[in-house]
Amino acid sequence: MFDQADRRIAAAAAALWPAARIELGLHVPSPTTYVRRMRVDDRTVYAKYSFVGMSLVSLLRGSAGTWPQVLAAQELYVQRPDSLMRREAAQLAFLSRLPGPRPGLLAGLHDGVLFTTPVTGTPLSQALLTQPARTADFLDLTFNELRPLHGRGPGVTDPGVIGTDRSITSTFARKFGQPDAHSYIDELTSGHEPVHLAPVLHRIVHRLLAAGLSVLTGRRSFCYGDLKPEHVIFPAGSGQRPVFIDPGLMFASPDSDRAKLISRTVLFLAAVRPSGAGQVIDGLGRHVDSHLDRTTRVHQPAILRQLLTWWLMDTTSILTTYLAAPFGLALPHTGQALTARASAILTVVDSLAGQLERRLPARQVWDNALAAVRVVAAA
């Protein structure tokens, strides 16, 4: 499969830059799309390729059929106007016309291959490691940049920008609300220790599916979608606005972006376990408190409950994707570390999901969540 992706990438690059010297570089590990760093003459670009719009984990588990079936479907898929790479190219173009957020640069699109220009600077994930005391400032700046996007309602869009519903709740329901979800969980945890992962996951899924029914989504707008600390880059120099890479635009509550960034930041801390983890978690708390201060007091418990539910759903979806990765699929270092710590993370998720199920006060659950992840990130 990867050889096929490399051939398509090389052919697409040759078609876009026929006079250039093309050199394929390192493969960038990912459970979703195939990404490779490459050189086009004296400049670096990233090439991204998707098979039938499905994650690499799902493909290798046979969700799209046999390899000949995947190849046949792929020839039709890359021509579709709503294919994943065409949609991402449309999203980058759409974002470039807004006052914020500032997107990465599109270098080209051909035959299902997306080429983007690398962004120089410090990812938010690394900034949190080197300056943990500034976590709240970094998060405030990130969401200030997203305000123009969050201010656009679903009635204002461009063709090809938004695909199928990929909200946190919808993704969780597609993954775990189907009849075969029980066997999926049993299968993906069978090769991991401890063996008690499956019962915990079944309980988490039951609790979060129920919690999701009571969440009020509120106003829908454009959201960045695939927001994680590795996707927000701070260029060198004071006063430089951050650059956002790898969008996944969708219509949802603006707080879904906040829930995803909280979820992925906590997972990053659980994987890396830095010395400043406590300061980062304190900063997360201050950022959310500042956000709540801009809302009416009567709505704050519902907002916190919504954030908690979406955070736990997103964390469960990501962690199970890593657990489902077949042997031989290279995962990013964070993903490798998280599979080794799955039991500790799922224990926290299970406890918090249980507190939501029992309808404990949202502020109490939130405070318990910050205390629990502080322990996991330091263990």
Query: Which of 47-56, 181-190, 263-272 has the lowest average pLDDT?
Result: 181-190
The pLDDT tens digits of the residues spanning 133-166 come to 999 999 999 999 999 999 987 665 566 788 766 7
**pLDDT value, residue 158:** 62
Of 271, 225, 322, which Cα lies nearest the Cα of 128?
Answer: 271
The pLDDT tens digits of the residues spanning 108-138 come to 999 999 999 999 999 999 999 999 999 999 9
Q: What percent of the chain has pLDDT over 70?
A: 93
Q: Exposed, middle or buried, 84 (CB in 10 Å: 0-12/13-18/19+)?
A: buried
Q: Is residue 181 very low, low, confident or very high in pLDDT (cuts 50, 70, 90)?
A: confident
The pLDDT tens digits of the residues spanning 78-101 come to 999 899 999 999 999 999 999 999
**pLDDT value, residue 274:** 96
Question: Please, which residues bridge with residue 221 across strands?
Answer: 252
Which H or E element spans position 62? none
The pLDDT tens digits of the residues spanning 277-289 come to 999 999 999 999 9
**What span, in angstroms and rounded, lies between the C-alpha atoms of 318 and 138?**
23
Identify which has the larger pLDDT, 251 or 261: 261
The pLDDT tens digits of the residues spanning 203-225 come to 999 999 988 776 666 678 899 99
State residue 102 phi and psi, 5-degree precision. Answer: -80, 115
- Helix, strand, coil tally for the chain in percent (to 5): 55, 10, 30
**pLDDT value, residue 267:** 98
Within 10 A of 142 (CB to CB), how many other CB atoms are there?
A: 22
DSSP 121: S
Relative to beta strand 243-244, strand 102-103 is parallel
Is pLDDT of 190 > 70?
no
DSSP alpha helix (H) spans, 241-361? 255-272, 277-293, 300-324, 333-340, 342-357
**Do 15 and 110 contact (CB within 8 A), yes or no?**
yes
**What span, in angstroms and rounded, lies between the C-alpha atoms of 262 and 259?**
5
Which H or E element spans position 379? none
Q: Mean pLDDT score of the chain, rounded to an integer?
A: 92
**pLDDT value, residue 282:** 98
Output the CA–CA distances (angstroms, integers) from residue 47 to 31, 85, 86, 336, in the order listed.
15, 10, 13, 23
Structure pTM? 0.94
**pLDDT value, residue 52:** 95
**pLDDT value, residue 196:** 72
Relative to beta strand 232-234, strand 243-244 is antiparallel
The pLDDT tens digits of the residues spanning 355-365 come to 999 999 999 99
